[in-house]
Structure 1
Amino acid sequence: MTVQYDMFDPASEPVKRGRGTTRLPTEIHEAEMVRLLQATGRYRVLTKLQPRPVVQASNPSFPLCGVIVDTETTGLKSWSDEVIEIGAVAFSFAENGTIGEVTGVYGSLQQPSRPIPPEITRLTGITDAMVAGQAIDRARLDELVAPADLIIAHNAGFDRPFCEQLSPVFADKAWACSVSEVDWSARGFEGTKLGYLVGQAGYFHDGHRAVDDCFALFEVLDRKSDCQDRSPFAELFDASQRSRVRIYAEHSPFELKDQLKGRGYRWSDGTYGRPKAWWTEVSEVDLDDELSWLRSEIYRYEANPPLRRLTAFDRFKN
Structure 2
Amino acid sequence: MFSDGPPAAPAKSPVKMSAARTANVALSEQEMVDHLAATGRYRILRKLESRPVVRSLRPEFPHKGIILDTETTGLNHRKEEIIEIGLIAFTFDDQGSIGDVTGIYGGLQQPGKPIPPEIVKLTGITDDMVAGQKIDIEAVETLVAPADLIIAHNAGFDRPFCEAFSRVFCNKAWACSNAEIDWSARGFEGTKLGYLVGQGGYFHDGHRAVDDCFALLEVLDRNVDGHYPSPFAELYRASQRSRVRIFAENSPYDLKDHLKARGYRWSDGSEGRPKSWWIEVDEAALADEIDYLRREIYRHPEADPPTKYLTAFDRFRA
- Which band: TM-score by shorter chain? over 0.9
Report the Cα offset of residue 42 of structure 1: 1.9
Secondary structure of the equivalent of 1:279?
strand
Partner of 2:90: 91
- Matched positions, count: 307
Gaps in structure 2 of 5+ consecutive residues: 1-10
Partner of 1:6: 14
Partner of 2:290: 291
Gaps in structure 1 of 5+ consecutive residues: none
> C-alpha distance in 2, partners of 1:186/1:285?
21
The structure whose Rg is larger is 2
What is the aligned-residue identity percentage?
Answer: 65
8 Å CA contact 1:246–1:282 kept in 2: the answer is yes
Secondary structure of the equivalent of 2:14?
coil
> C-alpha distance in 1, partners of 2:34/2:273?
56
Q: Is the counterpart of residue 134 in structure 1 residue 133 in structure 2? A: yes
Secondary structure of the equivalent of 1:287?
helix
Secondary structure of the equivalent of 2:171?
coil
Report the Cα offset of residue 180 of structure 1: 1.3
Partner of 1:223: 222
Q: TM-score, normalised by structure 1?
A: 0.92
Partner of 2:155: 156
Secondary structure of the equivalent of 2:212?
helix
8 Å CA contact 1:54–1:102 kept in 2: the answer is yes
Q: Within 5 Å, give how 1:1-318 maps onto structure 2.
A: 5-7=13-15, 12=16, 14=17, 25-207=24-206, 209-301=208-300, 302-318=302-318
Report the Cα offset of residue 256 of structure 1: 1.5
Secondary structure of the equivalent of 2:139?
helix
Report the Cα offset of residue 222 of structure 1: 0.4
> C-alpha distance in 2, partners of 1:130/1:25?
52
Secondary structure of the equivalent of 1:114?
coil
| Bigger helix fraction | 2
> C-alpha distance in 1, partners of 2:233/2:139?
28
> C-alpha distance in 2, partners of 1:157/1:232?
19
Report the Cα offset of residue 27 of structure 1: 2.9
Secondary structure of the equivalent of 2:36?
helix
Structure 2 counterpart of 1:116, one-letter code = I
Secondary structure of the equivalent of 1:286?
helix
> C-alpha distance in 2, partners of 1:145/1:45?
36
Secondary structure of the equivalent of 2:238?
helix
Report the Cα offset of residue 15 of structure 1: 8.4
Instruction: Name which of structure 1's ranges 50-59 and 293-302 shifts more when overlaid on structure 2.
Output: 293-302
Q: What is the CA RMSD across the aligned residues, in angstroms?
A: 1.8
> C-alpha distance in 1, partners of 2:12/2:68?
47
> C-alpha distance in 1, partners of 2:82/2:93?
31
